[in-house]
């Protein structure tokens, strides 16, 4: 149980700390990608947590508004819990559009900027309520539904060529641990999380979204907050076994949904194996960076009481960063660097192309 507690306390850090204002400009997609699909994606709607959030939580709540976050893109702290672009940006690039505006900032964006969709993800949240008093995924979908019903930004007819990203990266499990529930209840709770995720996927599709991309959980036992115990040399396989249970149940749910609809509407994004393949890449995967120490983060606190971006009461920095963020897969103790995400999506390109081409 102690190892589970360490894992999910680390997860809490992963998913809560990406609470920041998003830079308006994302990664712009190419016309080439548009021609890969049976439909032309024009909008991306995003739901989930800090792996997808690009700025929905108030600036005052996030350490990621502090230097050195954002040093690669856009050159200053600006809304992504990384040195630069994150998963949402790379999926937007893949489908051929600009990264969607965060929901929190919709009233500050022009109508042209809103045409690419909207990001409803809030760092720290989960499928159910977590320790963070922010909108869970059910509420995020409610926001989306309300916008559609209002009809002044999007209407159901606009969604024929839309894509959704639904990120569930583990905050529900950190909350489970914080409640001191018995470890024997864990498998049943994993099933509850996946069952509610299935309900959420049905709702998003019923609102008119054409394709729904669902990432598997990344190998949480490989996060630097866990691997520091082995000097960032090896993953915790006991913890990854729990992740595989979640992923197995989620894949079963997606197969069931697609069989019911008689279409390949729901798409699995295999982050679990993509992360592992990047970690193990020795040059055999063209387009994916070879990271010499893939489990070691670029930005860390000078001691266990500090973290990336920490300063003391005098404003003296209490963190260290690597010489080149492009040389590291992980930015901090939980989140990939921009180069890490780029490498992951480079490996995923072929499977995503095949999935999006299916009717």
Per-residue pLDDT of the chain (359 residues; tens, 9 = 90+): 555 545 444 544 444 433 333 332 334 454 445 444 466 889 999 999 999 999 898 888 877 778 999 999 999 988 788 999 999 999 999 999 999 999 999 999 988 899 999 999 998 899 999 998 999 999 999 999 999 999 999 987 889 899 999 998 788 988 888 899 998 999 999 999 999 999 999 999 999 999 999 999 999 899 999 999 999 999 999 889 999 999 999 999 999 999 999 888 999 999 999 999 999 987 777 667 899 999 999 999 999 999 999 999 999 999 999 999 999 999 999 999 999 999 999 999 999 998 888 76
Does residue 309 fall inside a structural domain?
no
Let me know if 174 is a catalytic residue.
Answer: no
Output the furthest CA–CA distance in the chain (Å, rounded).
61
Contact 47, 165 (CB under 8 A): yes
Structure confidence at residue 11 (pLDDT): 47
**Catalytic (active site) residue 323:** no
pLDDT recorded at residue 81: 87
**Domain holding 253: CATH number?**
3.40.50.1110
209 within a domain of the structure (yes/no): yes
Q: Which DSSP helix (H) or strand (E) runs through 238?
A: helix 237-261
Q: What was the pLDDT predicted at 60?
A: 83
Structural domain range at position 91:
43-284+338-358
What is the predicted pLDDT for the residue at 59? 84
| Residue-level pLDDT at 33 | 52
Residue 231 lies in a domain: yes
**Within-domain flag for 290:** no
State how far the alpha carbon of 99 is from the alpha carbons of 4, 88, 219, 349, in Å.
34, 7, 25, 17
Question: How many residues are listed for the chain in this entry?
Answer: 359
What is the model's pLDDT at position 38?
60
50 noted as active-site residue: yes
Structural domain count, the chain: 1
CA distance 66 to 139: 28
**Annotated catalytic residue, options 64, 83, 335, 343:** 335
DSSP 131: S
Q: What pLDDT shows up at residue 4? A: 53
Residue 140 lies in a domain: yes
Q: Which of 18, 49, 50, 270 is catalytic?
A: 50
| 311 DSSP β-pair partners | 317
- Establish if 72 belongs to a structural domain: yes
Active-site residue identified among 49, 83, 172, 332:
332
List the beta bridge partners of residue 119.
46, 102
Contacts of 45 (CB under 8 A, 6+ apart): 100, 117, 118, 119, 120, 144, 162, 163, 164, 165, 204, 209
Residue 196 placed within a domain = yes
Domain membership of residue 15 (yes or no) is: no
């Amino acid at each position: 149980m102690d190892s589970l507690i360490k894992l999910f306390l680390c997860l809490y850090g992963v998913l809560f700390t990406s609470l920041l204002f998003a830079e308006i400009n994302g990664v712009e997609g190419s016309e080439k990608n548009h021609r890969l699909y049976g439909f032309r994606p024009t909008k991306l709607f995003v739901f989930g947590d800090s792996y997808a959030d690009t700025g929905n939580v108030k600036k005052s709540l996030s350490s990621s508004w502090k230097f050195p976050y954002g040093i690669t893109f856009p050159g200053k702290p600006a809304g992504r819990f990384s040195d630069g672009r994150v998963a949402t940006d790379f999926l937007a690039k893949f489908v051929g559009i600009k990264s969607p505006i965060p929901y929190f900032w919709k009233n500050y964006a022009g109508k042209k900027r809103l045409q690419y969709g909207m990001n409803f993800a809030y760092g720290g949240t989960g499928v159910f309520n977590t320790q963070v008093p922010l909108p869970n995924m059910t509420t995020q979908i409610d926001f989306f539904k309300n916008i559609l019903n209002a009809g002044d930004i999007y209407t159901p007819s606009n969604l024929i060529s839309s894509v959704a990203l639904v990120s569930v990266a583990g905050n529900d499990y950190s909350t489970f641990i914080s409640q001191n529930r018995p470890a024997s209840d864990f498998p049943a709770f994993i099933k509850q999380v996946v069952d509610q995720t299935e309900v959420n996927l049905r709702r998003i599709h019923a609102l008119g979204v054409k394709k729904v991309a669902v990432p598997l959980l990344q190998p949480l036992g490989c996060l630097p907050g866990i691997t520091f115990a082995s000097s960032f040399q090896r993953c915790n396989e006991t913890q990854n076994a729990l992740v595989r249970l979640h992923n197995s149940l989620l894949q079963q749910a997606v197969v069931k949904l697609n069989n019911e609809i008689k279409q390949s509407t729901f798409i699995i994004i295999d982050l679990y194996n993509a992360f592992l393949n990047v970690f193990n890449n020795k040059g055999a995967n063209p387009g994916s960076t070879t990271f010499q120490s893939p489990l070691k983060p670029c930005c860390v606190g000078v001691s266990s009481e500090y973290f990336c971006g920490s300063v003391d009461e005098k404003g003296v920095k209490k963190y260290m960063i690597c010489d080149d963020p492009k040389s590291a897969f992980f930015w901090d103790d939980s989140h990939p660097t921009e180069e890490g995400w780029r490498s992951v999506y480079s490996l995923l390109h072929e499977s995503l192309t095949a999935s999006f081409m299916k009717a």
